[in-house]
Structure 1
Amino acid sequence: MTLKIYTKTGDDGDTGLFGGGRVPKDHPRVTAYGEVDELNAVIGQARSVEMMPRIDEVLAPVQRDLFALGAMLATPDLEKMKEQLEKARISDARVAQLEQAIDDGEGELEPLKAFILPGGTAKASALHVARTVCRRAERAVIHLQRDTEVPQIVIVYLNRLSDLLFVLARVANKRAGAGEVTW
């Protein structure tokens, strides 16, 4: 017997959560983990454009992190959320790794003296799109946090990730010899 991708359980506009329970598909929890899922897909797309090994090597574990964050956000039980964060190793140490990647990227760049317009190469443009989706995911998690306890590390991680995506976009342009257009 093969499993089918469709279950029909969501045909009335609700969805099941990890650990049980159902909520409407427009519930803030579903929005939050849906935004994280979209971010993961957009990062996957950015990785597939103009392969750049050092950039892509930084982003592969980020995708694993985002998969774990999405699962955690789909879990209404706070203790199970924390267990998933620990299992996924999303902690201050992981945030420090993102910060190190930001610092490494900035080491390749001229200091930023003005706002830059998103764009440049296909790789950089894809990373800029990922950055804006990351910010949207962060806002969705903050919205969820108003009514539901969400570990603060989730917001810290997404905030740092958006900074990393910005720096990686700049690095991609620099490595390709594309200039930045300032505002």
Structure 2
Amino acid sequence: MYRIYTRTGDKGTTALFGGSRIDKDDIRVNAYGTVDELISQLGVCYASSRQAELRQDLHAIQKMLFVLGAELASDEKGLARLTQTINAEDIQALEQLIDRNMAQSGPL
């Protein structure tokens, strides 16, 4: 059975992927928590949409955000072990997605 507790107590720190520890109030923890919340909200949008193209876009964005979250939650040792990281191609794909959707929706 999987346990949800560690029995190590809470000393106000959390482990990064790679093994190092940082304070729970570190901006990095806040950042990957915020990314996690965004992933969840996009999931709600995905589940609510009947538009195939929008669902495809939301899924692609979620995948990139999962990678970003993993990067934020990793120290140098952990980063070296990741099999995927955000790269220039990902940024370009996201920019193209934004441009396409802005052209369809018009000015905000």
> Normalising by the residue count of structure 1, what TM-score does the alignment of the two structures yield?
0.51
Map residues 26-175 of structure 1 onto 2, 5 A cutoff: 26-77=25-76, 80-81=78-79, 84=82, 87-88=83-84, 90-110=86-106, 112=107, 116=108
Aligned to 1:6: 5
Helix, strand or coil: the match of 2:104? coil
Query: Are 2:16 and 1:20 equivalent residues in the alignment?
Result: no
Contact 1:65 1:88 in 2 (8 A): no
Deviation at 1:8, TM superposition (A): 4.5
How big is each residue's C-alpha offset from its partner over 1:38-68, in whole Å with a ceiling of 9 and x where there is no partner? 1111111221223321111011122122111
Helix, strand or coil: the match of 1:15? strand
Helix, strand or coil: the match of 2:105? coil
Contact 2:49 2:55 in 1 (8 A): no
User: Which stretches in structure 2 are left out of the alignment for 5+ residues?
Assistant: none
- Whole-Å separation in 2 of the counterparts to 1:98 and 1:39: 15
Deviation at 1:19, TM superposition (A): 0.7
Deviation at 1:5, TM superposition (A): 2.9
- Whole-Å separation in 1 of the counterparts to 2:36 and 2:100: 27
Deviation at 1:73, TM superposition (A): 0.8
Helix, strand or coil: the match of 2:35? helix
Q: 1:36 to 1:109 in 2, by over 3 A?
A: closer
Deviation at 1:80, TM superposition (A): 4.5
Q: 1:106 to 1:10 in 2, by over 3 A?
A: farther
- Whole-Å separation in 1 of the counterparts to 2:31 and 2:9: 18
User: Which stretches in structure 1 are left out of the alignment for 5+ residues?
Assistant: 117-183
Contact 2:39 2:66 in 1 (8 A): yes
Contact 2:32 2:72 in 1 (8 A): yes
Q: Tell me how many residue pairs correspond in the alignment.
A: 108
